[in-house]
Amino acid sequence: MRFLDIATAILLGSSAITGMAVWTPRNADAGTQTQLTQMELRDALLRFMQQPGEAWILRSSPEELCTQLSSFSNTSETFLALVNGHPCTRPPPGGSPVANLTFDLFPGEVILEAWPTAQG
Amino acid sequence: MADRPGVGATAISAVIFAILLLSNFAVYVAAQQRSVLYSQADAEDFLADGGAAIMGAEAANILARAQSFLDSRVFYCANATAAIGGGVRGLTDRHQSGGLNVSVSAGISDVGASADNLTMLSPFDGSVAGELTILLRVTESGGAPTSGITMSRAETHPLHLPVRLEGEERACTGAVQTLESALSSSKVANCTDSQVGPLVESASLGPVSAAAGEGYEIRISYSITQRAPCTAEFEVSVSQPDIDGPSGTFTVQMSDEGSATFASPEG
């Protein structure tokens, strides 16, 4: 009987711990954090567009756009522009950008990309 | 039960584990719901920011194309506003990417001075009295399939180019009338350039000075088309130079023609 009691106690304990491990809120929290970061970076990209303005972006060369964009980068956010598919600089390591904004500005396509610096 | 002293402890621990498990499950469900809400917020943010970025770019493109249209031709003074209105009304654009569709079309308007929230088009956002107002009609639609969030909206934004169209038209037609009036009342003995030229030059001084005061440049040229009675045709070209547009500086030019028959000294 003692053996049965110990087995029951172990079963109860391990079931509870497994349940807590399976239903951990950590995964959902990680997804939420990613979405929050995406929103923050996308808002930052839109702020960048509003700061020098569309007219300035329209007039500027890809190099000027890149310089302006890199000066907008800070310790927590890294920004990059692709003009007609050509990136200004090498993208930071860490895979795809977390957020981007794509638009056509004569004479070509402009993509603004953003990474959280911690990831890069 | 005396032989099994651990049963009570096991039962208590079972209750504690069950409470822990239920609490953890409640936190888990809350986190999942929060994740769904964040996912929806992210989708809304994507549609709002993505739409705003595309709309701003399309508006800048329309302004640049309007600038190019204005810079590329010489308008007839009498119907410059109508001709420019017709050209601007034909400007449309469409962008489709990432689940977002944005289409814009332009027209001209006389809404007077008004502010607008399309500030990323600064300094061309809103309208300014006396300057060329371009009314931008924007329709945006899109959706984020994973979250079920969709967007559909139509907006109108006044934008402006610093072109003082009416002032330029007035300077042009005014110069033609002044020249016609002044030259028709002038007398020439010999219908030659040596006599007609100074008269045209003298009659031009007023309109040229008045236009220069308003920032316009006027060029006046003439040719004698008939000797008896002495008749000259002249062309007035008015331009508003160095206008600061979204894609650099540009010039808006207008011209008109007139003619005058000089009186003879005997008459």
If you measure CA to CA, which chain A residue comes closest to B9? A9
What is the arithmetic mean of pLDDT over B180-189? 90
Higher per-residue pLDDT: B255 or B263: B255
Residues of A in Cβ contact (< 8 Å) with B122: 53, 55
If you measure CA to CA, which chain A residue comes closest to B50? A101
pLDDT digits over B111-162, tens only? 778 888 888 999 999 999 889 999 999 999 998 877 788 999 999 999 999 9
What is the arithmetic mean of pLDDT over B7-23? 85
pLDDT reported for residue B103: 94
ipTM of the complex: 0.82
Residue B6 predicted with pLDDT over 90 = no
pLDDT reported for residue B267: 55
Top-confidence range, A7-11, A87-91, B257-261 = B257-261
Residue A120 predicted with pLDDT over 80 = no
pLDDT reported for residue A118: 61
User: In percent, how much of chain A has pLDDT > 70?
Assistant: 92
Q: How far apart are CA A19 and CA A13, in angstroms?
A: 10
Cα of A71 to nearest chain B Cα, Å: 19
Residue A119 predicted with pLDDT over 50 = no
**Smallest Cβ distance to A104: which of B95, B120, B124?**
B95
Residue B232 predicted with pLDDT over 50 = yes
What is the arithmetic mean of pLDDT over B57-79? 93
Of the pLDDT bands very low, low, confident and very high (cuts 50, 70, 90), residue B4 is low
pLDDT reported for residue B204: 93
Q: Would you kindly state where each structural domain of chain B is located, as residue ranges?
A: 39-162, 166-261
pLDDT digits over A73-114, tens only? 888 888 888 888 888 777 766 678 888 888 888 768 888 889
**Smallest Cβ distance to A32: which of B3, B34, B64?**
B34
Residue B1 predicted with pLDDT over 70 = no
Beta bridge partners of B240: B252
In this prediction the pTM is: 0.85
Given a contact cutoff of 8 angstroms between Cβ atoms, the answer to whether B6 and A9 are in contact is: yes
Residues of B in Cβ contact (< 8 Å) with A50: 119-120
pLDDT reported for residue B3: 63
If you measure CA to CA, which chain B residue comes closest to A50? B120
What is the arithmetic mean of pLDDT over B221-243? 93
Q: What is the mean pLDDT of chain B?
A: 90
pLDDT digits over B212-223, tens only? 999 999 999 999
pLDDT reported for residue A1: 67
